[in-house]
Amino acid sequence: MGKIAVIGTGYVGLVSAVGFASLGHRVVGMDKDREKVEKLKRGELPFFEEGLEDYLRSALESGKLEFTDDVSYAVEGSRYIFVAVNTPMDEDGSADLTQLLEAGRNIARNLKNFSIIIIRSTAPIGSLEALERVFEVEGRRKGIDYELAYNPEFLREGTGIYDFLNPSRIVVGADRKEIAEEIMSLYEKINAPKIITSIKDAQLIKYASNAFLAMRVSFINEIAGICEAMGADVFTVAEGIGLDPRIGRTYLQPGPGYSGPCLPKDLMALIRMAEENHYSAEFLEAIHKRNELQKRRILWRVKEVLGGVLIGKTVSVLGLTFKPNTDDVRNSISIPIITRLLKLGARVKAYDPMGGDNARKIFENVEIFQDPYSALDGSDVVLILTAWKDFRDIDWKKVKDSVKNPVIIDSVGVLRGLNMEGWKVWMVGRGYL
Protein backbone atom coordinates (compact mmCIF):
# COMPACT_ATOMS: atom_id res chain seq x y z
CA MET A 1 0.00 0.00 0.00
CA GLY A 2 1.13 3.54 -0.75
CA LYS A 3 1.62 6.41 1.62
CA ILE A 4 -1.48 8.16 2.95
CA ALA A 5 -1.69 11.92 3.49
CA VAL A 6 -4.48 13.41 5.58
CA ILE A 7 -5.04 17.13 4.98
CA GLY A 8 -6.58 18.73 8.05
CA THR A 9 -6.14 17.47 11.62
CA GLY A 10 -9.41 18.54 13.12
CA TYR A 11 -11.60 15.92 14.72
CA VAL A 12 -12.28 13.86 11.58
CA GLY A 13 -8.80 14.27 10.11
CA LEU A 14 -6.93 13.37 13.26
CA VAL A 15 -9.08 10.35 14.08
CA SER A 16 -8.71 9.18 10.46
CA ALA A 17 -4.93 9.66 10.45
CA VAL A 18 -4.50 7.80 13.72
CA GLY A 19 -6.94 5.14 12.59
CA PHE A 20 -5.17 4.41 9.30
CA ALA A 21 -1.81 4.30 11.07
CA SER A 22 -3.27 1.86 13.60
CA LEU A 23 -4.24 -0.36 10.66
CA GLY A 24 -0.58 -0.45 9.65
CA HIS A 25 -0.49 2.19 6.92
CA ARG A 26 2.19 4.86 6.66
CA VAL A 27 0.41 8.17 7.30
CA VAL A 28 1.38 11.83 7.36
CA GLY A 29 -1.10 14.27 8.86
CA MET A 30 -0.88 17.82 7.58
CA ASP A 31 -2.24 20.99 9.15
CA LYS A 32 -1.30 24.62 8.52
CA ASP A 33 -1.52 25.32 12.25
CA ARG A 34 2.14 24.89 13.26
CA GLU A 35 1.42 25.03 16.98
CA LYS A 36 -1.09 22.20 16.65
CA VAL A 37 1.35 20.15 14.58
CA GLU A 38 4.09 20.50 17.21
CA LYS A 39 1.64 19.42 19.88
CA LEU A 40 0.65 16.35 17.87
CA LYS A 41 4.30 15.44 17.32
CA ARG A 42 4.62 15.28 21.11
CA GLY A 43 1.64 12.95 21.29
CA GLU A 44 -0.69 15.58 22.75
CA LEU A 45 -4.29 15.96 21.60
CA PRO A 46 -5.64 19.41 20.67
CA PHE A 47 -9.06 18.34 21.98
CA PHE A 48 -10.44 15.77 24.39
CA GLU A 49 -11.33 12.36 22.96
CA GLU A 50 -11.31 9.35 25.23
CA GLY A 51 -8.83 6.67 24.16
CA LEU A 52 -7.45 8.57 21.17
CA GLU A 53 -4.26 9.77 22.87
CA ASP A 54 -3.08 6.21 23.52
CA TYR A 55 -3.59 5.31 19.85
CA LEU A 56 -1.84 8.53 18.79
CA ARG A 57 1.25 7.84 20.87
CA SER A 58 1.38 4.21 19.79
CA ALA A 59 1.21 5.22 16.11
CA LEU A 60 3.96 7.81 16.59
CA GLU A 61 6.19 5.33 18.39
CA SER A 62 5.71 2.74 15.64
CA GLY A 63 6.88 5.25 13.03
CA LYS A 64 3.67 4.78 11.04
CA LEU A 65 2.40 8.29 11.76
CA GLU A 66 4.00 11.72 11.44
CA PHE A 67 2.77 15.29 11.23
CA THR A 68 3.78 18.33 9.21
CA ASP A 69 2.64 21.83 8.36
CA ASP A 70 4.21 21.51 4.88
CA VAL A 71 1.60 20.52 2.31
CA SER A 72 4.25 19.73 -0.31
CA TYR A 73 5.86 17.21 2.04
CA ALA A 74 2.50 15.63 2.79
CA VAL A 75 1.49 15.37 -0.87
CA GLU A 76 4.83 14.17 -2.23
CA GLY A 77 4.81 10.42 -2.72
CA SER A 78 1.30 9.98 -1.35
CA ARG A 79 -0.81 7.57 -3.36
CA TYR A 80 -3.85 8.48 -1.26
CA ILE A 81 -4.68 12.01 -0.10
CA PHE A 82 -7.61 12.28 2.29
CA VAL A 83 -9.08 15.77 2.69
CA ALA A 84 -10.71 16.37 6.07
CA VAL A 85 -11.05 20.15 6.35
CA ASN A 86 -14.02 21.98 7.79
CA THR A 87 -17.12 22.72 5.68
CA PRO A 88 -19.08 24.99 8.07
CA MET A 89 -22.57 26.30 7.52
CA ASP A 90 -22.73 29.52 5.50
CA GLU A 91 -25.15 32.33 6.26
CA ASP A 92 -27.82 30.91 3.95
CA GLY A 93 -27.54 27.41 5.43
CA SER A 94 -25.48 25.96 2.60
CA ALA A 95 -22.02 24.45 3.11
CA ASP A 96 -19.09 26.86 2.97
CA LEU A 97 -16.54 25.23 0.65
CA THR A 98 -13.76 27.79 1.14
CA GLN A 99 -11.43 25.47 3.05
CA LEU A 100 -12.18 22.51 0.80
CA LEU A 101 -11.36 24.42 -2.38
CA GLU A 102 -8.24 25.92 -0.80
CA ALA A 103 -7.05 22.43 0.16
CA GLY A 104 -7.70 21.23 -3.39
CA ARG A 105 -5.73 24.13 -4.83
CA ASN A 106 -2.77 23.43 -2.55
CA ILE A 107 -2.81 19.74 -3.41
CA ALA A 108 -3.00 20.43 -7.15
CA ARG A 109 -0.03 22.79 -7.00
CA ASN A 110 2.12 20.19 -5.25
CA LEU A 111 1.20 17.03 -7.17
CA LYS A 112 4.16 15.33 -8.79
CA ASN A 113 2.80 11.82 -9.25
CA PHE A 114 -0.64 10.32 -9.74
CA SER A 115 -2.70 10.45 -6.54
CA ILE A 116 -6.20 9.46 -5.51
CA ILE A 117 -7.78 12.37 -3.66
CA ILE A 118 -10.46 11.19 -1.26
CA ILE A 119 -12.80 13.74 0.29
CA ARG A 120 -13.52 12.87 3.89
CA SER A 121 -15.15 16.21 4.71
CA THR A 122 -18.92 16.38 4.56
CA ALA A 123 -19.31 17.93 1.12
CA PRO A 124 -22.52 18.65 -0.83
CA ILE A 125 -23.46 17.54 -4.32
CA GLY A 126 -21.48 19.61 -6.81
CA SER A 127 -18.48 20.16 -4.55
CA LEU A 128 -16.31 17.53 -6.21
CA GLU A 129 -17.14 19.00 -9.60
CA ALA A 130 -15.95 22.34 -8.21
CA LEU A 131 -12.73 20.65 -7.11
CA GLU A 132 -12.26 19.27 -10.62
CA ARG A 133 -12.39 22.83 -11.96
CA VAL A 134 -9.79 23.89 -9.39
CA PHE A 135 -7.48 21.11 -10.55
CA GLU A 136 -8.13 21.99 -14.18
CA VAL A 137 -7.14 25.61 -13.58
CA GLU A 138 -3.92 24.35 -11.99
CA GLY A 139 -3.19 22.27 -15.07
CA ARG A 140 -3.99 18.86 -13.56
CA ARG A 141 -5.84 16.28 -15.65
CA LYS A 142 -8.38 13.94 -14.12
CA GLY A 143 -7.58 10.32 -14.85
CA ILE A 144 -3.93 11.13 -15.61
CA ASP A 145 -2.68 13.23 -12.70
CA TYR A 146 -5.36 12.41 -10.15
CA GLU A 147 -8.73 10.81 -9.40
CA LEU A 148 -11.40 12.05 -7.02
CA ALA A 149 -13.48 9.95 -4.63
CA TYR A 150 -15.72 10.44 -1.63
CA ASN A 151 -15.41 8.47 1.62
CA PRO A 152 -17.81 9.86 4.25
CA GLU A 153 -17.11 9.42 7.94
CA PHE A 154 -19.62 8.28 10.53
CA LEU A 155 -17.65 9.12 13.67
CA ARG A 156 -19.30 10.03 16.95
CA GLU A 157 -17.42 12.45 19.18
CA GLY A 158 -16.42 10.63 22.33
CA THR A 159 -16.11 7.27 20.55
CA GLY A 160 -14.30 8.38 17.37
CA ILE A 161 -11.37 5.95 17.27
CA TYR A 162 -13.65 3.05 18.21
CA ASP A 163 -16.02 4.04 15.42
CA PHE A 164 -13.15 4.22 12.92
CA LEU A 165 -11.91 0.74 13.77
CA ASN A 166 -15.39 -0.73 14.31
CA PRO A 167 -17.61 1.13 11.83
CA SER A 168 -21.26 0.42 11.18
CA ARG A 169 -20.43 0.61 7.45
CA ILE A 170 -17.75 1.89 5.09
CA VAL A 171 -18.91 3.84 2.04
CA VAL A 172 -16.73 4.77 -0.93
CA GLY A 173 -18.03 6.69 -3.93
CA ALA A 174 -16.03 7.08 -7.13
CA ASP A 175 -16.55 7.45 -10.87
CA ARG A 176 -14.40 4.39 -11.55
CA LYS A 177 -15.08 1.13 -9.75
CA GLU A 178 -11.42 0.13 -9.69
CA ILE A 179 -10.55 3.36 -7.87
CA ALA A 180 -13.27 2.74 -5.28
CA GLU A 181 -12.04 -0.84 -4.80
CA GLU A 182 -8.48 0.38 -4.29
CA ILE A 183 -9.62 2.84 -1.62
CA MET A 184 -11.73 0.15 0.02
CA SER A 185 -8.65 -2.08 0.23
CA LEU A 186 -7.23 0.40 2.77
CA TYR A 187 -9.89 -0.93 5.13
CA GLU A 188 -9.27 -4.62 4.43
CA LYS A 189 -8.47 -5.34 8.09
CA ILE A 190 -11.85 -4.01 9.17
CA ASN A 191 -14.84 -6.34 9.19
CA ALA A 192 -17.86 -4.19 8.35
CA PRO A 193 -20.45 -3.81 5.58
CA LYS A 194 -18.72 -2.12 2.64
CA ILE A 195 -20.60 -0.15 0.00
CA ILE A 196 -19.12 0.98 -3.31
CA THR A 197 -21.28 3.49 -5.12
CA SER A 198 -21.31 6.69 -7.12
CA ILE A 199 -19.97 9.91 -5.62
CA LYS A 200 -23.43 11.50 -5.43
CA ASP A 201 -24.91 8.45 -3.72
CA ALA A 202 -22.07 8.43 -1.18
CA GLN A 203 -22.60 12.12 -0.46
CA LEU A 204 -26.32 11.67 0.02
CA ILE A 205 -25.80 8.65 2.29
CA LYS A 206 -23.88 10.95 4.63
CA TYR A 207 -26.36 13.84 4.51
CA ALA A 208 -29.43 11.61 4.73
CA SER A 209 -27.96 9.76 7.71
CA ASN A 210 -27.49 12.95 9.70
CA ALA A 211 -30.88 14.29 8.63
CA PHE A 212 -32.48 11.07 9.89
CA LEU A 213 -30.72 11.38 13.24
CA ALA A 214 -31.87 14.99 13.52
CA MET A 215 -35.40 13.81 12.73
CA ARG A 216 -35.30 11.28 15.59
CA VAL A 217 -34.27 14.00 18.04
CA SER A 218 -37.02 16.35 16.88
CA PHE A 219 -39.52 13.50 16.96
CA ILE A 220 -38.81 12.52 20.56
CA ASN A 221 -38.88 16.18 21.59
CA GLU A 222 -42.31 16.48 19.98
CA ILE A 223 -43.43 13.43 21.95
CA ALA A 224 -41.90 14.98 25.08
CA GLY A 225 -44.10 18.03 24.66
CA ILE A 226 -47.17 15.83 24.25
CA CYS A 227 -46.19 13.84 27.35
CA GLU A 228 -45.88 17.06 29.37
CA ALA A 229 -49.32 18.19 28.21
CA MET A 230 -50.96 14.85 29.05
CA GLY A 231 -49.11 13.91 32.23
CA ALA A 232 -47.11 11.03 30.76
CA ASP A 233 -43.40 10.19 31.13
CA VAL A 234 -41.43 10.56 27.91
CA PHE A 235 -38.55 8.42 29.20
CA THR A 236 -40.86 5.44 29.72
CA VAL A 237 -42.48 6.11 26.35
CA ALA A 238 -39.08 6.32 24.65
CA GLU A 239 -38.02 3.03 26.24
CA GLY A 240 -41.15 1.33 24.96
CA ILE A 241 -40.69 2.78 21.47
CA GLY A 242 -37.02 1.85 21.33
CA LEU A 243 -37.67 -1.82 22.05
CA ASP A 244 -39.28 -2.12 18.64
CA PRO A 245 -36.46 -3.52 16.44
CA ARG A 246 -37.78 -1.49 13.52
CA ILE A 247 -37.12 1.68 15.51
CA GLY A 248 -34.29 1.08 18.00
CA ARG A 249 -33.20 3.11 21.02
CA THR A 250 -30.60 5.47 19.60
CA TYR A 251 -31.25 9.22 19.40
CA LEU A 252 -34.48 8.96 21.38
CA GLN A 253 -33.16 11.08 24.27
CA PRO A 254 -35.33 14.18 24.80
CA GLY A 255 -33.52 17.43 25.43
CA PRO A 256 -33.15 21.06 24.39
CA GLY A 257 -32.67 20.08 20.73
CA TYR A 258 -29.95 18.63 18.52
CA SER A 259 -26.79 20.67 18.15
CA GLY A 260 -23.06 20.22 17.61
CA PRO A 261 -20.77 20.44 14.59
CA CYS A 262 -22.70 18.08 12.29
CA LEU A 263 -26.48 17.64 12.54
CA PRO A 264 -27.57 21.31 12.25
CA LYS A 265 -25.29 22.20 9.36
CA ASP A 266 -25.81 18.95 7.45
CA LEU A 267 -29.59 19.15 7.69
CA MET A 268 -29.59 22.75 6.44
CA ALA A 269 -27.15 21.91 3.65
CA LEU A 270 -29.41 19.09 2.49
CA ILE A 271 -32.40 21.45 2.48
CA ARG A 272 -30.44 23.98 0.41
CA MET A 273 -29.22 21.29 -2.01
CA ALA A 274 -32.82 20.21 -2.55
CA GLU A 275 -33.92 23.81 -3.18
CA GLU A 276 -31.12 24.36 -5.68
CA ASN A 277 -32.39 21.33 -7.55
CA HIS A 278 -36.00 22.60 -7.56
CA TYR A 279 -37.28 20.37 -4.77
CA SER A 280 -38.95 21.74 -1.64
CA ALA A 281 -37.86 19.58 1.31
CA GLU A 282 -40.76 20.53 3.58
CA PHE A 283 -40.38 17.54 5.87
CA LEU A 284 -36.73 18.40 6.52
CA GLU A 285 -37.70 22.01 7.12
CA ALA A 286 -40.21 20.82 9.73
CA ILE A 287 -37.42 18.97 11.54
CA HIS A 288 -35.41 22.19 11.72
CA LYS A 289 -38.44 24.22 12.77
CA ARG A 290 -39.22 21.78 15.58
CA ASN A 291 -35.65 22.00 16.82
CA GLU A 292 -35.77 25.79 16.91
CA LEU A 293 -39.04 25.60 18.83
CA GLN A 294 -37.49 23.30 21.42
CA LYS A 295 -34.84 25.90 22.24
CA ARG A 296 -37.55 28.51 22.71
CA ARG A 297 -39.55 26.17 24.96
CA ILE A 298 -36.58 25.85 27.31
CA LEU A 299 -36.23 29.63 27.41
CA TRP A 300 -39.96 29.98 28.07
CA ARG A 301 -39.59 27.75 31.13
CA VAL A 302 -36.78 29.91 32.50
CA LYS A 303 -38.81 33.09 31.95
CA GLU A 304 -41.85 31.46 33.55
CA VAL A 305 -39.89 30.61 36.71
CA LEU A 306 -38.53 34.16 36.92
CA GLY A 307 -41.91 35.81 36.39
CA GLY A 308 -41.10 36.92 32.87
CA VAL A 309 -38.42 39.44 33.90
CA LEU A 310 -34.76 38.37 33.85
CA ILE A 311 -33.12 41.70 34.62
CA GLY A 312 -31.17 41.36 37.85
CA LYS A 313 -31.71 37.60 37.99
CA THR A 314 -28.97 34.96 38.07
CA VAL A 315 -29.27 31.89 35.87
CA SER A 316 -26.84 29.08 36.66
CA VAL A 317 -26.18 26.98 33.57
CA LEU A 318 -24.82 23.47 33.94
CA GLY A 319 -23.49 22.03 30.69
CA LEU A 320 -21.90 23.99 27.85
CA THR A 321 -20.75 21.26 25.44
CA PHE A 322 -23.11 19.96 22.78
CA LYS A 323 -23.08 16.55 24.45
CA PRO A 324 -21.36 14.89 27.44
CA ASN A 325 -17.87 13.34 27.34
CA THR A 326 -16.43 15.95 24.99
CA ASP A 327 -14.95 19.42 25.33
CA ASP A 328 -16.55 20.55 22.05
CA VAL A 329 -18.84 23.57 22.30
CA ARG A 330 -19.12 24.19 18.54
CA ASN A 331 -22.75 24.92 17.68
CA SER A 332 -23.75 23.81 21.17
CA ILE A 333 -27.34 24.48 22.19
CA SER A 334 -25.88 26.49 25.08
CA ILE A 335 -24.71 29.24 22.72
CA PRO A 336 -28.08 30.54 21.46
CA ILE A 337 -29.78 29.95 24.81
CA ILE A 338 -27.16 31.76 26.88
CA THR A 339 -26.92 34.54 24.29
CA ARG A 340 -30.67 35.09 24.60
CA LEU A 341 -30.54 35.02 28.41
CA LEU A 342 -27.88 37.73 28.36
CA LYS A 343 -29.91 39.86 25.96
CA LEU A 344 -32.88 39.58 28.32
CA GLY A 345 -30.73 41.03 31.10
CA ALA A 346 -29.86 37.94 33.10
CA ARG A 347 -26.56 37.32 34.82
CA VAL A 348 -25.27 33.92 33.69
CA LYS A 349 -22.93 31.76 35.76
CA ALA A 350 -21.88 28.47 34.21
CA TYR A 351 -20.00 25.24 34.69
CA ASP A 352 -19.04 22.35 32.43
CA PRO A 353 -16.82 19.40 33.38
CA MET A 354 -14.69 19.71 30.22
CA GLY A 355 -15.89 22.55 28.02
CA GLY A 356 -15.15 25.55 30.21
CA ASP A 357 -11.94 26.66 28.48
CA ASN A 358 -13.47 26.44 25.00
CA ALA A 359 -16.60 28.22 26.18
CA ARG A 360 -14.55 31.13 27.52
CA LYS A 361 -13.41 31.80 23.95
CA ILE A 362 -17.05 32.26 22.94
CA PHE A 363 -18.70 34.01 25.88
CA GLU A 364 -17.31 37.33 27.12
CA ASN A 365 -20.03 38.17 29.63
CA VAL A 366 -20.51 34.76 31.22
CA GLU A 367 -18.83 33.76 34.47
CA ILE A 368 -17.52 30.23 33.90
CA PHE A 369 -16.34 28.41 37.00
CA GLN A 370 -14.06 25.45 37.68
CA ASP A 371 -16.58 23.76 39.97
CA PRO A 372 -20.39 23.50 39.99
CA TYR A 373 -20.88 24.86 43.48
CA SER A 374 -19.43 28.27 42.63
CA ALA A 375 -21.63 28.42 39.53
CA LEU A 376 -24.74 27.54 41.54
CA ASP A 377 -24.14 29.96 44.40
CA GLY A 378 -26.81 32.68 44.52
CA SER A 379 -28.85 31.20 41.66
CA ASP A 380 -32.42 32.25 40.92
CA VAL A 381 -32.86 29.25 38.63
CA VAL A 382 -30.63 26.34 37.60
CA LEU A 383 -30.70 25.38 33.92
CA ILE A 384 -29.20 22.02 32.92
CA LEU A 385 -28.36 21.87 29.20
CA THR A 386 -26.03 18.85 28.87
CA ALA A 387 -26.57 15.35 30.26
CA TRP A 388 -23.29 15.05 32.16
CA LYS A 389 -23.56 12.27 34.75
CA ASP A 390 -21.38 14.47 36.98
CA PHE A 391 -24.44 16.61 37.70
CA ARG A 392 -26.07 13.67 39.47
CA ASP A 393 -23.17 13.65 41.94
CA ILE A 394 -23.70 17.25 43.03
CA ASP A 395 -24.74 17.55 46.69
CA TRP A 396 -28.09 19.12 45.89
CA LYS A 397 -29.06 19.24 49.57
CA LYS A 398 -25.99 21.38 50.23
CA VAL A 399 -26.62 23.56 47.17
CA LYS A 400 -30.19 24.30 48.29
CA ASP A 401 -28.83 26.44 51.12
CA SER A 402 -26.73 28.58 48.75
CA VAL A 403 -29.31 29.44 46.09
CA LYS A 404 -31.89 32.21 46.17
CA ASN A 405 -34.59 30.09 44.59
CA PRO A 406 -34.44 26.23 44.61
CA VAL A 407 -35.75 25.68 41.08
CA ILE A 408 -34.17 23.51 38.39
CA ILE A 409 -35.00 23.37 34.68
CA ASP A 410 -33.63 19.97 33.70
CA SER A 411 -33.83 20.06 29.91
CA VAL A 412 -32.07 16.69 29.49
CA GLY A 413 -33.57 14.56 32.27
CA VAL A 414 -30.20 13.89 33.90
CA LEU A 415 -31.66 14.11 37.42
CA ARG A 416 -34.18 11.33 36.82
CA GLY A 417 -34.57 9.05 39.82
CA LEU A 418 -32.75 11.31 42.29
CA ASN A 419 -34.31 12.46 45.54
CA MET A 420 -34.61 16.21 44.98
CA GLU A 421 -36.47 16.99 48.18
CA GLY A 422 -36.79 20.73 48.72
CA TRP A 423 -36.32 21.52 45.04
CA LYS A 424 -38.91 22.38 42.44
CA VAL A 425 -37.80 20.53 39.31
CA TRP A 426 -39.13 20.84 35.78
CA MET A 427 -37.98 17.98 33.58
CA VAL A 428 -38.28 17.66 29.83
CA GLY A 429 -41.05 15.26 28.88
CA ARG A 430 -42.40 15.09 32.44
CA GLY A 431 -43.15 18.67 33.49
CA TYR A 432 -42.89 19.73 37.11
CA LEU A 433 -42.10 16.87 39.48
Alpha-carbon distance 414 to 408, whole Å? 11
Q: Residue by residue, what is the 3-state secondary structure of 239-266?
A: HHHHCCCCCCCCCCCCCCCCCCCCHHHH
- From the candidates 111, 223, 262, 273, which is the catalytic residue? 262
Closest CA to 430 of 230, 219, 295: 230
Alpha-carbon distance 72 to 157, whole Å? 30
Alpha-carbon distance 27 to 60, whole Å? 10
Please say whether the beta carbons of 142 and 148 come within 8 A.
yes
Per DSSP, the residues of 118-156 read EE-S---TTHHHHHHHHHHHTT--BTTTEEEEE----PP
Q: Is 227 a catalytic residue?
A: no
Alpha-carbon distance 88 to 73, whole Å? 27
Alpha-carbon distance 313 to 431, whole Å? 23
Closest CA to 428 of 302, 241, 339: 302
Buried b (16+ CB within 10 A) or exposed e, 162-188: bbbbebeebbbbbeeeebbebbbebbe
Which active-site residues does the annotation give? Answer: 262
